[in-house]
């Protein structure tokens, strides 16, 4: 890093190199709007010109109208020729004041509207690209980050970044130009007074830079404490039933009040610093005005300058503090925006775990034959999950995947869905490596019911039809009838058009699971994967699952990941996962005789279920005795 790219401060470094990197990284979003931004810059120059011209009509009132000095200057001669008399001159000057005000308002309006429109378009495109990119990332990216942090990147971070890549350079140009033109005019009017006025400028600059850094740190602390307050509120409201059931209202209120007081103190601290900065700048400006007035009045009495010149000069001295304050604020915003830009760039730089190969083909038309050959997988963080997994599933077979928690069952499902690619070996559908298919077409051939049912804030019909581009409402109702949810839906005020609350919290667990099952049936994919499908289901719903999904006459390839061992005989094949590998593959009877792990899982499940027998008429005591043999 070059020396000029990092400015050392008492609080750390303002990394100009990082700012440049972020600007280059996101400049492609600004480039298409260069014409609009050029117009905004032109409007900014016009606004600066109007601001600099604003005090001059008052000068003419003092010098020409009140002192009656028409003819003493070029402007005075013009008034003497074209506006004889003080009343006419005063009317023209008032008209000039109105024109300058209209110019200020017009240029500022044009600049603000263009910047706002351009900024929103940039934010919209950037947010769209970020959302599209994040949907391609593997699940571990989201599992390792807080949802609130990810959402902040879509809202506050992008808005703050907009200030730097769209607004900052126009704002900086405006303030720097205002300071430069104002100082030039001041030196033109009276060099000695200009030097005198500049004596207080270093104090204002030093105060703005030093206190602004402290304000930035105080504001950061305030936002962190406010986020704690919001987190507590979110946590309590999301678990209000638990809070009320355990009478934790007073405890949670004390916890909230403690963080709330801390947030208030941080807010007051920030306000004090901002007020201190304002007072110092105002005091420095007032000191400059006093010195300019003292020396300027003497010059007016000595005839060196006119009273109108002094009035203009004092107006400039008083106004030059405003762009200085804006520049200090802009520096603070740019530093924060750089951090926000780095957070957004961090997400955009994450590469998807899987992507289509250059010669990828469509998976449409596969029949559901699955082959896993010596497959191994290690998570991106280095955690080993699977090794040497091999098995074959024929088209239309019903297969159970069993094993202890952490044995690799869910990881196997993620690999079949190609959330990740295997580290070793291969997975093939219809004897073709799944990496040869496009990701989208591969997932179109798989219907999934996950362990945690996810519903969206859409209508019930739309939730059932997720994953299908165009669906006949009759088909939606047929799928709902198959899983036994149709009668319940008809009791709702708007039936299938009833909008669900966030994550479907207004429905019971069984109702949510049935909607997920209807979704899988409607898709009619050749491969069906069920991850703990009976979770949250009553006996009736579980029977519907077995009859309509697992034992469905369509005979599509069905994989059921489960801990429930009560109905193993209905499966054509059972895969026993243990320590990240397929320890055994076979039918229920074969595994009871040949696989100690499976036999132990089976007997342990019945022991824990508290049932002396099972639906197959197998007595637990007899079964345990047989297994011991």
Q: With helix as H, strand as E and coil as C, how does 324-383 read?
A: HHHHHHHHHHHHHHHHHHHHHHHHHHCCCCCCCCCCCECCCCCCCCEEEEEEEEECCCCC
The pLDDT value recorded for residue 369 is 92
Using alpha carbons, list the distances in angstroms from residue 524 to 446, 448, 552.
Answer: 9, 11, 11
> Is-contact 280 206, C-beta < 8 A?
no
The pLDDT value recorded for residue 227 is 67
255-269 mean pLDDT: 84
Q: What is the mean pLDDT of the chain?
A: 79
The pLDDT value recorded for residue 428 is 93
Question: DSSP for 276-335?
Answer: HHHHHHHHHHHHHHHHHHHHHHHHHHTTSS-HHHHHHHHHHHHHTHHHHHHHHHHHHHHH
Q: Burial of 472 by CB count in 10 Å (0-12 exposed, 13-18 middle, 19+ buried)?
A: exposed
> Which has more confidence, 493 or 227?
493
337-361: string of b/e by CB count within 10 Å (b at 16+)?
A: bbebbbbbeebeeeeebbebeeebe
The pLDDT value recorded for residue 279 is 76
541-555 mean pLDDT: 66
pTM, two decimals, is: 0.73
User: Which tens digit of pLDDT belongs to each residue from 606-628?
Assistant: 776 655 444 344 444 334 434 44
Closest CA to 393 of 422, 411, 367, 375: 367
> Which has more confidence, 345 or 544?
345
Instruction: Among 120-129, 393-402, 602-611, name the one with the lowest average pLDDT.
Output: 602-611
pLDDT band for position 17 (50/70/90)?
A: low
- Is the pLDDT at 18 greater than 60, yes or no? yes
The pLDDT value recorded for residue 427 is 92
582-598 mean pLDDT: 86
> Phi and psi dihedrals of 199, rounded to 5?
-60, -30
Q: How far is residue 176's CA from residue 158's CA, in Å, rounded to a whole number?
A: 26
Closest CA to 330 of 169, 157, 192: 169
The pLDDT value recorded for residue 5 is 45
The pLDDT value recorded for residue 46 is 92
């Amino acid at each position: 890093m070059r020396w000029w790219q990092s400015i050392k401060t008492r609080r750390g470094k303002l990394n100009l190199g990082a700012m440049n990197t972020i600007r280059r990284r996101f400049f492609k979003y600004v480039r298409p709007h260069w014409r609009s931004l050029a117009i905004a810059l032109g409007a900014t120059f016009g606004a600066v010109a109007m601001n600099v011209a604003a005090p001059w009509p008052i000068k003419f009132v003092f010098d020409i109208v009140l002192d009656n000095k028409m003819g003493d200057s070029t402007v005075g001669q013009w008034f003497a020729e074209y506006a004889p008399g003080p009343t006419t001159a005063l009317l023209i000057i008032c008209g000039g004041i109105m024109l300058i005000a209209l110019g200020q308002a017009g240029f500022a309006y044009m600049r603000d509207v263009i910047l706002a429109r351009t900024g929103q378009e940039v934010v919209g495109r950037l947010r769209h690209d970020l959302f599209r990119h994040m949907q391609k990332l593997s699940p571990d990216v989201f599992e390792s980050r807080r949802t609130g942090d990810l959402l902040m990147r879509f809202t506050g971070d992008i808005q703050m970044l907009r200030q730097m890549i769209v607004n900052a350079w126009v704002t900086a140009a405006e303030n720097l130009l205002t300071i430069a033109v104002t100082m030039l005019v001041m030196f033109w009017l009276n060099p000695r007074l200009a030097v005198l006025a500049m004596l207080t400028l270093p104090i204002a600059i030093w105060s703005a830079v030093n206190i602004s850094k402290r304000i930035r740190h105080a504001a950061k602390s305030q936002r962190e404490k406010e986020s704690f307050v919001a987190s507590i509120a979110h946590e309590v409201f999301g678990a209000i039933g638990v809070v009320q059931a355990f009478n934790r209202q007073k405890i949670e209120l004390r916890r909230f009040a403690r963080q709330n007081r801390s947030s208030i103190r941080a807010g007051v601290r920030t306000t004090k610093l901002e007020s201190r900065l304002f007072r110092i700048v105002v005091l420095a400006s007032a000191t400059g005005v006093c010195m300019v007035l003292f020396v300027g009045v003497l010059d007016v009495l000595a005839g060196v300058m006119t009273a109108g010149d002094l009035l203009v000069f004092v107006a400039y001295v008083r106004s030059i503090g405003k762009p200085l304050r804006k520049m200090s604020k802009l520096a603070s915003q740019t530093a924060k925006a750089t951090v926000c830009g780095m957070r957004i760039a961090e997400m955009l730089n994450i590469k998807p775990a899987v992507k289509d190969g250059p010669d990828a083909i469509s998976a449409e038309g596969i029949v559901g034959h699955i082959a896993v050959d010596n497959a191994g997988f290690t998570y991106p963080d280095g955690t080993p999950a699977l090794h040497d997994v091999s098995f074959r599933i024929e088209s239309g077979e019903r297969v159970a995947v069993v094993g202890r928690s952490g044995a690799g069952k869910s990881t196997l499902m993620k690999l079949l869905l190609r959330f990740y690619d295997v580290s070793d070996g291969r997975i093939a559908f219809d004897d073709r490596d799944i990496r040869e298919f496009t990701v989208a077409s591969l997932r179109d051939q798989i219907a999934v019911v996950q362990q945690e049912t996810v519903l969206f804030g859409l209508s019930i019909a739309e939730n059932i039809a997720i994953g299908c581009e165009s669906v006949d409402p009759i088909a939606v109702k047929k799928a709902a009838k198959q899983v036994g949810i149709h009668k319940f839906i008809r009791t709702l005020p708007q039936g299938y058009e009833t909008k669900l609350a966030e994550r479907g919290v207004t429905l019971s667990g069984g109702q949510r699971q049935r909607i997920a099952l209807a979704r899988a049936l409607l898709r009619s994919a050749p491969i069906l994967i069920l991850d703990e499908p009976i979770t949250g289901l009553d006996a009736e719903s579980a029977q519907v699952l077995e009859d309509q999904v697992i034992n469905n006459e369509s005979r599509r390839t069905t994989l059921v990941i489960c801990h429930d061992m009560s109905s193993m005989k209905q499966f054509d094949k059972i895969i026993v996962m243990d320590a990240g590998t397929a320890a055994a593959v076979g039918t229920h009877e074969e595994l009871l005789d040949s696989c100690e792990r499976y036999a132990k899982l089976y007997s342990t499940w019945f022991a824990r279920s508290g049932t002396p027998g099972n639906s197959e008429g197998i007595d637990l005591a007899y079964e345990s005795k047989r297994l011991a043999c």
